[in-house]
Amino acid sequence: MLEQYLSTTQLGNGPVLDPAPVHEDGALLDAYSHAVVTAAEKVSPAVAKIEVTQTVDQARNGEPRERQGGGSGFVFTPDGLVLTNSHVVHGATKIALSLSDGRQFPAHLIGDDPATDLAVVQIDGSNLTVAPLGDSQNLRVGQLAIAIGNPYGFQYTVTAGVVSALGRSLRSYSGRLIEDVIQTDASLNPGNSGGPLVSSNGEVIGVNTATIMGAQGLCFAIGINTAKFVATRLLQQGRIRRAYIGVEAQNAPLHRRIVRFYDLPKETGAIVLGASKGSPAERAGLREGDVIIAFNGQPIAGVDDLHRLLTDAQVEVKTSVTVLRRTERLELGIVPQESKQ
């Protein structure tokens, strides 16, 4: 019976798999491979390996110690501007870049922004390959995502996956939230930081920045639209201007009776734990225990909401901060200053 079954399947007279799906699967694999290969070949020449030297705390003999580190980046203008992560180059005393063609360059920092974990450095080179920048606003969950970088020093490594989610928030090294972060399962490792996340058409859609240690397939990239905005400001001013009011605060729930009595849109606020001496908050009369519920007329549900509203447009501009002091609602005038962080 077995011999007869095998004979009929070989002759195509029995209920066997149609060879057409096999052919189609092969075509799909070829298309996927072609997309990854094409995108990698287009962008890889613009990807840089970044090596940095940082001065750390002094040793016991009083001499400063140096620490070596590094990551990835990519050239995004013909005159040698390179995007990377702030945590890769922040505080570096020396920055060196190497490209896939073997050329090596010293680099200098144009500016970095720890709040978004982005930085711009520049090299002096000619005939540089430029990575084209895409539009992270038009991304869709499930589309192909390709990461290129130098994990653990293995230069110009390519990994591929999909866009797993959009609109994530990620806590930066400065403590602020980075908004509109891309989640991907394209594998990232130490050394990938600052490298490009690329779409199937070879455009950079994000700057790879973080993974969750111990997890699999949970990797994150800062959307390229955020990177464009930050890079423009860094080129113009060397920094990102943000407002500062000088309070130490944390999220706190509001009593339901107070929420109902004042018809508040949020059920939480930012409780003031202290105000820095001479700060705008102290001059405005903010006290320990006050709960900030609005800033410039915008509801505040917590510290992150307050950070979002403290933009450069608020620097040296008198505005209002609404607080609950015990059960009393107060409107205080405040003039934010420029943050020095």
Out of 117, 185, 290, 305, the active site residue is 117
The beta strand positions in the chain, using DSSP E, are 47-56, 65-75, 81-84, 92-99, 104-113, 118-123, 144-149, 157-171, 177-184, 196-198, 204-211, 219-223, 243-244, 247-253, 268-275, 291-295, 298-299, 319-325, 328-334, 337-338
| Strand partners of residue 184 | 163, 219
Length of the chain (residues): 341
Give 180's DSSP letter. Answer: E
CB-based contacts of 255: which residues, under 8 Å, 6+ apart? none
Backbone torsion region of residue 280, taken as left when φ is above 0, otherwise alpha when ψ lies between -120 and 50, otherwise beta = alpha
Out of 44, 86, 87, 305, the active site residue is 87
Burial state string for 116-129 with b = 16 or more CB within 10 A and e = fewer than 16: bbbbbbbbebeebb
Q: Is 117 tagged catalytic? A: yes
Per DSSP, the chain holds a count of helices (H) and strands (E) of: 7, 20
Out of 44, 136, 164, 193, the active site residue is 193
Hey, which residues are catalytic here? 87, 117, 193
